[in-house]
Amino acid sequence: MMASLAETAADGTSVRLATLRARLVPPMPGSVFWGWAGPLLVTAFGTFLRFNRLSVPGSVMFDETYYVPDALGILRFGVEHNYISNRNALIARGNPHIFTSGGEFVVHPPFGKILIAAGEGLFGLNPFGWRFAVAVVDSLSILLLARIARRMTRSTMLGCVAGLLLALDGLEFVMSRTALLDIFVMFWVLAAFGCLVVDRDRTRAAAVEATARLPRDDAPPRGPHSHSGADTCTGPSDVNVAEPSAPASLSPQQYADSSVATAHVCLDPALSSANRCPSHTGRGRALKGRNEQSPSCPIK
């Protein structure tokens, strides 16, 4: 019977842990292959859109007039360098002689411009070169978003749909083909959010594992003797009845009516000292014979 109780308690605990795990950390859907293949296919499609005719238009667009010469200054001098006012025409022709003396007034962190400078260093001072890093980072953003959405929704299809929406968004498409800093900011914010989502799942999984290691409240007692209550011994084997002999000056009846204690000690080693049956004192509590032994403690 004890084994049956233990198996029932273990089954109940397993069901509760499985329910908790399914609620906090639902399993990832589908296969690992499609979990990567789907987002990668969407990313490849978005990458094609971004790199197709990336050098068109062939002139300096919008705030490229600031970031392209700043990146070129970092490439040549290590820092942003002051440049002439009519620089756009020279930059469009690939002429790098646009700098004057002194450093440029810096209003943005340099890392985005360092990435633009990397493209200029690889492909030269031309529209494809200064837009290359932006297109690469935005293509990676599509993959990030698809994977993050898949993890949040537990659906590979929804993750791919989220990546496809980003790949086809008009504003995102234009920004990903222009040498501006906005795409870099978006990428790192999206990456940080993805790290938070992964950390959430790992923390919840650790919490479930910690819960599984906690002692069960409904576990059956351990030890050679069973225990059915906090103050009740369950059988004659749990009780040791001490019958001290009456003093010579007292008759057996007088001794039974006296306030001398009769010891009732539960011997179950699995019980704590706080739950063992205490020794009871009081008038009329002495046993009057071995035939009157009770299998349980008299005090509830």
Mean pLDDT of 133-137: 98
Angle between helix 127-153 and 111-123 (nearest 10) = 130
Residue 247: left if φ>0, alpha if ψ -120 to 50, beta else—which one?
beta
> What pLDDT shows up at residue 286?
42
What predicted TM-score, i.e. pTM, was given to this entire model? Answer: 0.67
Mean pLDDT of 195-215: 90
Instruction: Report residue 37 as tokens.
Output: 């293949």
> What pLDDT shows up at residue 208?
87
Quick one: pLDDT band at residue 215, thresholds 50, 70, 90? confident
> What pLDDT shows up at residue 3?
54
User: Which is it for strands 239-241 and 99-103: parallel, antiparallel or unpaired?
Assistant: unpaired
Quick one: pLDDT band at residue 259, thresholds 50, 70, 90? very low
Residue 7 CA, distance from chain mean position: 31
> What pLDDT shows up at residue 264?
40
- In the chain, what's the furthest Cα-to-Cα distance? 127
> What pLDDT shows up at residue 21?
80
Q: Which range, of 107-116, 140-149, 160-169, 274-283, averages the lowest pLDDT?
A: 274-283
Q: CB under 8 Å to 95, separation ≥6 — which residues?
A: 125
Question: Looking up tokens 């029932």, which residue turns up?
Answer: 8
Mean pLDDT comparison of 139-148, 236-245, 257-266, highest-scoring range: 139-148
Q: Secondary structure of the chain in the HEC alphabet?
A: CHHHHHHHHHHHHHHHHHHHHHHHCCCCCCCHHHHHHHHHHHHHHHHHHHHCCCCCCCCCCCCHHHHHHHHHHHHHHCCCEEECCCHHHHHHCCCCCCEEEEECCCCCCCHHHHHHHHHHHHHCCCHHHHHHHHHHHHHHHHHHHHHHHHHHHCCHHHHHHHHHHHHHCHHHHHHCCCCCCHHHHHHHHHHHHHHHHHHHHHHHHHHHHHHHHCCCCCCCCCCCCCCCCCCCCCCHHHEEECCCCCCCCCCHHHHHHCCCCECEEECCCCCCCCCCCCCECCCCCCCCCHHHCCCCCCCC
Mean pLDDT comparison of 15-24, 84-93, 286-295, highest-scoring range: 84-93
Q: How far apart are CA 232 and CA 228, in angstroms?
A: 7
pLDDT, one tens digit per residue, over 275-289 is: 444 444 444 444 444
Quick one: pLDDT band at residue 212, thresholds 50, 70, 90? confident
Sign of CA dihedral 45, 144, 56, 128: negative
* Percent of the chain residues past pLDDT 70, beyond the cut: 68
> What pLDDT shows up at residue 241?
45
* pLDDT at position 223 over 70: no
Quick one: pLDDT band at residue 10, thresholds 50, 70, 90? low
Q: How far apart are CA 208 and CA 14, in angstroms?
A: 11
pLDDT, one tens digit per residue, over 162-182 is: 999 999 999 999 999 999 999
Quick one: pLDDT band at residue 55, thresholds 50, 70, 90? very high
* Percent of the chain residues past pLDDT 90, beyond the cut: 55
Domain boundaries, the chain: 23-212, 225-300
* pLDDT at position 233 over 80: no
> What pLDDT shows up at residue 16?
80
Contact 149, 159 (CB under 8 A): yes
Contact 113, 71 (CB under 8 A): yes
Mean pLDDT of 176-196: 97
> What pLDDT shows up at residue 58?
92
Task: Output the average pLDDT for the chain.
Answer: 79
Contact 65, 83 (CB under 8 A): no
